[in-house]
Amino acid sequence: MLQKLLATGIALSCITISHAQTAESTPTTSTAEAAATPPEEKKPLISFSGSADVYYRYDFGKQAGNNRTSFTNTHNSFALGMASLKAEHQGDKIGVVLDLGFGPRAKEFTYADEGITQAIKQLYVSYAPTDWLKFTAGTWATHVGYELVDPQLNRNYSMSYMFSNGPFSHTGLKAEVSKGKSGFMLGISNATDYRIPPTDQINRKFILAQYSFAASDNLKFYLNYVGGKNPDTSKTSQFDLVMTASISDAFSIGYNGTVNTTKTWDGAKNESGKSWWGSALYLNLDPKPWFGLTLRGEYFSDKNQFKIPTAGPDGASLFATTLSANFKVGGLTFIPEFRVENASEEIYADANGTGKKSAGSFLLAAIYSF
């Protein structure tokens, strides 16, 4: 009997020891999950990006002046565009952006500035107390329009008439609110494109606004506004609509329409408003990741000669068609581009200086971005 009890005790002890060893060698679920989870990557203190672009343009009329839009005012010449360097810091709630540009493109973009400030494309501080509200103060690129100043962000290299004659930048304060599929922006700024208001003219503030709506991931709308009293005492009010739609992975559409009404000062009061307006459609085809085509058709009307002066009493309207190809190799993009314009008045010239109602050009651009 004693021998049986001893044998039973030894067997139970062995079972207990065996179970303890098994429990000790098996990690808990939380430990296993922690081991499988990679450590969280730290955000860089400052992130950098940039670009540089050069181009060659040939005007078929052999007149550089036939170009009436921004950044490509040359003929039969290799030319520099812009070298950009953008530094960004983004904390949990506070962010800072310094965006610098050097070259003819940057100088034309900041035409209202002088000296070193011409190199500042954007400089602003943002504060987001919640995930649906953000405040921004400083200088930033305009919310108006479809096209952007950085060439790598556009599919056409030459610019539209609406971009060239619309606002470039704003300096002031804005608040942005996001709610579901909608977004709202309201701001106050110096007069359009002025970082520092001119000391010899009036100094009034402009109102900025935007309403955005994302009907889906593939369809988005932006309704924009900017308006106020200019330093020369005229009053400006501009409404702008942008739409983007992705039809498929290979085909997308963009649309931009804008109307600007200006009331000039007659010495005693502002006269009745006169307008210029434009409308453009962008058709984008990307059959391959390294190759794409964009066809831009733009109608621009300036019957009151605010933006396109003519030799006669009547202002001009025109239709510009631009076909651009995009060939991509890593961060490098080559853009060969043909552009044809037809106007209601003789606003162009041929090689002999004779007025013409049509003009055409070819350019080849190279853009590197990182």
The pLDDT of residue 20 is above 50 = no
Query: Residue range 339-365: average pLDDT?
Result: 97
Integer CA distances (angstroms), 118 to 59, 167, 168, in order: 28, 16, 13
- Using alpha carbons only, give the angle 241, 178, 173 rounded to the nearest 5 degrees: 75
**0.75 exceeded by pTM:** yes
Q: What is the pLDDT of residue 40?
A: 57
Query: What's the mean pLDDT in 127-150?
Result: 98
- Mean predicted lDDT score pLDDT of the chain: 90
Structure confidence at residue 38 (pLDDT): 56
Listing DSSP states for 52-116 in one string gives EEEEEEEETTS-GGG--SSS---SSEEEEEEEEEEEEEE-SSEEEEEEEEESHHHHHHTTT--GG
